[in-house]
Amino acid sequence: MRSGTDVTENGLRRLLDAWDPIGVADEVPDEYDCMLAPLLQRLRGGAGRTEIGEFLRHELEHHFGLDPRPSDPDAMAARLVSWWTTGSVDGSA
């Protein structure tokens, strides 16, 4: 499990930017920062793929105004939970 370091936040940011469901991460590097704290809170609290997937789906639909299906929030949730549990610092898990 991870601590609350900047390394953790930066790793999560890299994962979200690589996922880039809006397609703007190259131009707007902080586009998904609104999801950092809520995701870290959930991950620290032991949330699994289902809860993380529901959060991502909700954010895509209600915050970003997107159909969540093309972005496959469940696959991203699995990647985030794996990253969290394996402790990959560089966000490549």
- The whole-angstrom separation of Cα 74 and Cα 83 is 14
- Please give the chain's pLDDT, 93 residues, in tens: 445 566 789 999 999 999 999 999 999 989 999 999 999 999 999 999 999 999 999 999 999 999 999 999 999 999 999 999 987 644 444
Query: How far apart, in whole angstroms, are the C-alpha atoms of residue 55 and residue 49?
Result: 10
Record the pTM. Answer: 0.85
Digit-coded pLDDT (tens) for 28-53: 989 999 999 999 999 999 999 999 99
Distance in angstroms (rounded) separating the CA atoms of residues 14 and 45: 21
